[in-house]
Amino acid sequence: MDASIYFIIFFLPASPLREAEKSLMHYNKKEEVYMPVIKLLKERMTMGLHFILGRAGSGKTTRCCRDIVQFRQNHPDQTLFFIVPDQSTYTAERTLAETFPGRGFADIFVVGFSRLAYRIFRELHTDLGDALSPLGQQLILRRLLSSGADSFQVLATAARQTHFSASAAAFFHEMESYDISEKKLSEAALSENDTALGAKLHDLSLLYSAYRNYLKAHFAYQGSLYEVLTREIPHSQKIRQSCIWVDGFNGMTPQELTLLSALIQTARDVTVTLPMGRPEEAALSGSLFERPYHMWEELTHRFGSSSAEILDHSYRFLQPVLKSLEKDYFALPARPCTVPPDGLTLQPASDRTAEADAAARQILAFVRDNGFRWRDILVLLRKPDNYADLLERTFKRYEIPCFIDSRRSMWNHPLVVLLDSLIRFLAAGPRGWSRHTLFRLLKTGLLPEFTDDEIDRLENYVLRFHIRHYQWNIPWHFHIPSDLDADTNEPTPEETRENQFMEELRLRLTNLLDPLMKSWEAARTGREKCTVLYEWMTERKIPDRLAEWEKEESRPADRGTQSQVWKKVLALLDELVHVSGDDTLSPEDFLSMAEDGLSSLTFSLIPPTLDHVTVTSIDRGYALEGRAVFILGANEGEFPFRIEEQGLLTDQEREHLNRKNFLLGPDLLFRTYQEQFYIYLALTRAREYLTVSYAETDTDGSDLEPSFILARLQSLHYGYTAVRASAPGPDTEDPSFIARPSQALALLPAMLRRPPVSSLWQSLFLWAENQPEWKEKIRRILGSLTWENRADRLPPDIARALFMPSGKFRGSVTQLEQYRSCPYSYFLKYGMHLQERNDGRMNSADYGSYLHAGLHLFGELFQKQKKQWRDASEEDISRLSGSISETLAPKVKNGALLSDAAGRYIRHSLDRTFRSALERICTWSRQSGFQTEALEKSFAVDLPGGDGNCFTLVGKIDRIDRQGNALAIYDYKTGRPTLSLNEICSGQRLQLVTYLIALLAMEEKREGRSVSIPAALLYLYISDEAHRLPAPLAPGEIPPKDQPSSGYFLRDTALLNKLDSEAGTENSFIHIRFGKDGAPMNSSPVLSPEEMKALLCAVSDLLGRLYRSAASGRIPITPILYKKAAPCRYCPYRSICRFDPRLPENTYEIIPARKDSDIKADLAACAQKQQKGDNIHD
């Protein structure tokens, strides 16, 4: 026979026999030639295909293992392959080993398709340089998407998204799996014309054409690893001489079926197991066995007759209810259970935590009381994300060894973070020197050039001075001015030392990254860029650092992860070189490709022990089984999984294309059937015990509904419903909560805190008290029962060291106001000097400083010219405010107001507010007879502290006006706080009165007596007020008038009119109303001279009391509560003090709301009791 005929026999692609016959007839018309070939081909195609069919639990895997053992004993030199799904190789290998008499084997390959490819390629020395991995395909698509996004009609926006290439790769893989060609996709797009589907298919066709053209231009072979494997299988001598068992698949894609067909054609004998009964019954059973039946039908159609063995007997299920569940529950129609329900438990739980806890306690009971091994237990999840972390924590608490079989991303691994940050830094060029990129790079711990402390200090410095990308290559000599309007801009000695240290760190970092940047800029191709990155990482000895980390790993599950990350990163760089080669790559394209690649890296997890509980998803663990199986999360929408649209095409679009014979993957109906089959597989994994549990509430407190499966199981009398699982309480008598000593003792404080306590917890406490190894630990644990959230009084020496480091108290009135507001926050701020991190962002304090400094500079300029505010014209205000803004703006947060558009907008708003404030102040000055005497007046005044001690208050007064001997004191406010006598006398707002006390004291010291009288104590608002209006203003309607000030005045009509000639009118800047007699009304904020003097004495006494209390070390956690408002709302120390009003020891100091009239009456009474004299401190 012609050798070419033999080639056709052995290398003809898998196809039905009639197609093969047509091909041979076309090759050679002579019947005497092709008929023997057909006969030989039929023998070849049918001699080695066998089916083992059986429903769940019928022993298909056991049968395969026994056949392999027997075959090995009879043919010790024969090559054997046991092919299972990739995720099941570990379990299959262990099961096969346990089947052998010696519990071990050699020269039998337990592989998935990916490992099979590796062995065949290694045998044949296949050159895979032109074969593309899924990651390589994704990288190519990312490059094409980045360069061609503008040519798309509907996918232009999506094409720029980071992970869109993965969706496109999945779609093209689906096309290849279902034999959709480039031409067929283009024809489908044209047939849809200008519809939305047509535009989408047009974009996909453009992308696919570009993808195929790229492959043609860059690679000799255009295909995936599966396609290369299919081509190479007929050449493999190992496969030719082997017998193969294929187990654990419930269906295959067309591409996988083609691969299996190549194995069937080449190997001596192939046995395939399928999870279904007799084919004629599976065909009638509707949706449940559709996928395995379709696989059987396709293989028998391709290869004609084959042998099949039906396993009818159920071996797995040791409980009658589980056998009935598999046989009767999934029948059509379903049949009710007629056997005892023992072995099937339906477990409700209050929430997911209680659900996981109940499962852990039951697992421990199985192992402790029933003689189970950990490996006999399987936990199945349909949505692993909801339970994986929770189960890991719960099992750790109960000391249950477990292996969570899930794909864990490498995205947060330090090496991946470092490489991603490095590429971002390089791709951005000069703008790569951004804080986020640099410190993400530095904090990986992989750069030995910097210690953690140096990185933290450098980051705080960069944040504080708002250092931008262009400032990294110039020397650092930054300075924060104590006052924006100060003349000097020189750093302090402390700032100089810090600048020198930070300059050293800056040079160290630029010396590290600048050479890399130069090498990167010189690199043009993908190969050169990857080489630059690899050489830089090896020069930094990053592999050695990872090796050190690996030696320090304490968790068995994490061992080997460091080397795995390094290998996968190198593989990614190789793949980038493979797909880009010597093509010129822009930094942006390289970044997008690298980001997609890095985000797709995952850990290949290996079980750390042989004996552990396996936690896996149903779609990955459907081939596993266990003596006891727990199905968690049996809630509506989770089990079965709610079918949602996925991929680039909607289900309606897929159905529309399917009707046009454009078959593209599973549609919605098929996925629904597949989900039903997953239910079947999950409910038939248990040999002895099956628990199906659900939670009533989610982690966020939202309600959850149980799955319809539970209602159906209950209605058909399958299993029994257990008691609802919930967190234990003091009255709990369930002994299962005492499972492990550490776990149980951790519950004791919460149980004993709320009597009455059940005998269970009392017994646990007595047991721990009598155990030497637990006695000390239980005392530490129960220490929380007697703990109180209190702050003890500081010892005198510590109080002095913290609050009076120079031996005498010297501080501001703001400090004493803080102490009055909350003594403990005063201790943290002024004693411990704890501060919020200065992140360089502008805040309300910066805005206030800007406006204060502007007003000071404006007033100072006029004072130098012997002018008053009233002398400023509109032109002066416009010109000088602009000039002052130019002076101040660069000083705010190291030029933050000039750095970007947001900063410039803030500056514009501040300048507008500044001009508005100037206009108001100048207008008021024109209405006033008072003259501005001082701006930013500094003071330091000694006040009596009792016991012969005194304390010093220092500060600055924003503005002092004078008319004769009458003083008006102003404090600029960017907010709009109101001043009340109640707030003054309760110690909340002491500034203005303290300023007055300081001025009178300094005048008395200077002149021998004080002759000035306080005319006004005012908050002067320098920002516009925001009004809440019930509706928009009508055209021409005047908005409400701002209240320009708040404060108190001396009851003197002449002085009030001097202060504001428009007093009492709508144009007045002071909130005063006059009665018919011309005197201020009682409702106005005015005080008589006696009341004013009494107020000064009261405040002076209050300041002394606050000083003495602070100096004595009293720092109780007792914030004040005034008009339902507490300082805790905006306090930065809440996480430290842990003030909780629900605790009996944590109470507010409630300040009652009192009317001004009541306080004036008290002041008048105090004034009558005072002795006559000029000394206000008497």
Q: Give the residue-averaged pLDDT of 48-64.
A: 93
Reading the block at residue 268, the tokens are: 């001596």
At 1119 the pLDDT is 97
User: Has residue 541 got a pLDDT over 90?
Assistant: yes
Q: Which of 97-101, 608-612, 662-666 has the highest mean pLDDT?
A: 97-101
Over residues 179-217, the pLDDT tens digits come to: 787 888 888 888 888 888 888 888 888 888 888 888 888
pLDDT value at position 53?
Answer: 95
pLDDT above 90: residue 607: no
Are residue 291 and residue 352 in the same domain, yes or no? no
Domain hosting residue 897, numbered range:
842-928
* pLDDT value at 15 more than 70: no
Is residue 871, in this structure, part of any structural domain at all? yes
Angle at 933 between CA 928 and CA 938, to 5 degrees: 135
For tokens 């004299």, the residue is 1173
- Is the pLDDT confidence value at 13 over 50? no
Distance CA 67, CA 329 (A): 31
Q: Any idea which of 43-52, 692-701, 1135-1144 has the lowest mean pLDDT?
A: 43-52
For residues 247 and 222, which has the higher predicted lDDT (pLDDT)?
247
CB 579 within 8 A of CB 134: no
- Per-residue confidence (pLDDT) for residue 1013, from 0 to 100: 93
What residues have CB less than 8 Å from 938, skipping those under 6 apart?
954, 955, 956
Task: Please tell me the number of Cα atoms within 13 Å of 1124 on its side-chain side.
Answer: 0
Give me the phi and psi of 1086, to 5 degrees please: -125, 150
Mean pLDDT within 295-309 = 87
Structure tokens at 311: 């396993």
Is the domain of 114 the same as that of 240? yes
Does 115 share its domain with 66? Answer: yes
Rounded mean pLDDT, 1154-1177: 74
Those residues whose C-beta lies under 8 Å from the C-beta of residue 252, and which sit 6 or more positions away, are 260, 295
Same domain, 84 and 233: yes
**Which of helix, strand or coil describes residue 237?**
helix
- Quick: pLDDT tens for 845-886: 899 999 999 999 999 999 999 999 999 999 999 999 999 999
CATH number at 703 reads: 3.40.50.300
Picking from 1055, 1042, 835, the residue whose alpha carbon sits closest to that of residue 930 is 1055
Q: Is residue 396 part of a domain?
A: yes
Predicted confidence (pLDDT) per residue in 331-383, tens digit: 878 899 999 989 999 999 999 999 999 999 999 999 999 999 999 999 999 99
Are 226 and 259 in contact, with CB atoms under 8 Å apart? yes
Tell me, yes or no, whether 1064 lies in a domain: no
On whether both 297 and 378 belong to a single domain, the answer is no
* Rounded Cα gap, residues 569 and 166, in angstroms: 18
**In angstroms, rounded to a whole number, what is the distance separating the alpha carbons of residues 357 and 287?**
36
Q: Is the dihedral of CA 661, 662, 665, 670 positive or negative?
A: negative
CA angle at 42 for the pair 36 and 48, rounded to the nearest 5°: 135
Q: Are 426 and 303 contained in the same domain?
A: no
Provide mean pLDDT across the span 932-959.
92
- Length of the chain, in residues: 1178
Residue 1121 lies in a domain: no
pLDDT tens-digit map of 824-855: 999 999 999 999 888 888 888 899 999 999 99
1017 found inside a domain: no
Strands 344-351 and 613-617: unpaired
Cis, bond preceding 1144 (omega within 30 deg of 0): no
Kindly state the DSSP code that residue 731 receives in the 8-state scheme: T
Total H helices, total E strands in the chain: 48, 22
Tokens linked to 78: 């024969």
Task: Give residue 793's pLDDT band: very low, low, confident or very high (50, 70, 90).
Answer: very high
Question: Is pLDDT at 557 greater than 80 in this prediction?
Answer: no
CA distance 79 to 108: 7
Amino acid at 249: F
Residue 309 CB coordination number (10 Å): 13
CA–CA separation, 269 and 265 (whole Å)? 9
- How many domains are contained in the chain? 6
Query: Cα separation of 565 and 414, whole Å?
Result: 10
Q: Indicate whether 1004 belongs to any domain.
A: no
| Domain-ending residue, one of 928, 954, 974 | 928
Closest to 1167 (Cα-Cα) out of 1103, 1000, 1159: 1159
Alpha-carbon distances, residue 734 vs 394, 730, 731, 743 (angstroms):
18, 11, 9, 15
My answer on whether 419 and 565 are in the same domain is yes
- Residue 81: name the closest of 91, 67, 60 by CA: 67
Q: Find all residues with CB under 8 Å of 773, minimum gap 6, and list them.
A: none
Q: Report if residue 1051 sits inside a domain.
A: no
Omega prior to 333 cis, within 30 of 0:
yes
Domain boundary, last residue among 286, 315, 344? 315
| Distance of alpha carbon 227 from the chain centroid | 39
Query: What digits encode the pLDDT tens for the residues 1074-1117?
Result: 988 889 998 899 999 999 999 999 999 999 999 999 999 999 99
Whole-Å CA distances, 665 to 253, 382, 677, 927: 8, 22, 17, 84
Residues 591 and 448 in one domain: yes
Average pLDDT rounded to a whole number, residues 939-955 = 90
Pairing, β 377-381 against β 344-351 = unpaired
How does strand 49-54 pair with strand 307-311? parallel
pLDDT (0 to 100) of residue 332: 78
- The answer to whether 569 and 423 are in contact (CB under 8 A) is no
Secondary structure (3-state) at 809: coil
β-bridge mates for residue 950, sequence order: 944
Residue 2 forms part of a structural domain: no
At residue 632, φ and ψ (nearest 5 deg) are -100, 150
Do 709 and 755 belong together in one domain? no
pLDDT tens digits, 451-477: 999 999 999 999 988 898 999 999 998
Classify residue 643 by its DSSP letter.
P
User: Which two three-digit tokens encode residue 815?
Assistant: 């400090």
Q: What is the pLDDT confidence band of residue 152, given thresholds at 50, 70 and 90? A: confident
Predicted model pTM:
0.79
CA distance 1152 to 1133: 25
C-alpha to C-alpha distances, 407 to 410, 559, 606, 617, 660, nearest whole angstrom: 9, 16, 11, 11, 37
| 123 and 240 together in one domain | yes
H-assigned helices in 737-869: 741-745, 748-752, 759-769, 772-781, 783-786, 796-803, 813-821, 823-826, 844-864
CA distances from 484 to 851, 859, 883, 893, 898 (A): 10, 15, 14, 10, 16
Q: Which residues pair with 307 in a beta bridge?
A: 50
pLDDT value of position 1029: 64
Q: Report cis status (omega within 30 of 0) of the bond before 608.
A: no
Q: Classify 602 as helix, strand or coil.
A: strand
β-bridge mates for residue 1026, sequence order:
none
Tokens representing residue 1096 in the block: 């000064």
Give the domain CATH number at 430.
Answer: 1.10.486
Q: Which of 671, 687, 721 is the last residue of a domain?
A: 721
pLDDT over threshold 70, residue 959? yes
Question: What does each C-alpha distance from 839 to 330, 809, 850 come to in angstroms?
Answer: 62, 31, 18
Half-sphere exposure of 69 (CA within 13 A, CB side): 17
Same domain, 327 and 179: no
Same structural domain, 759 and 691: no
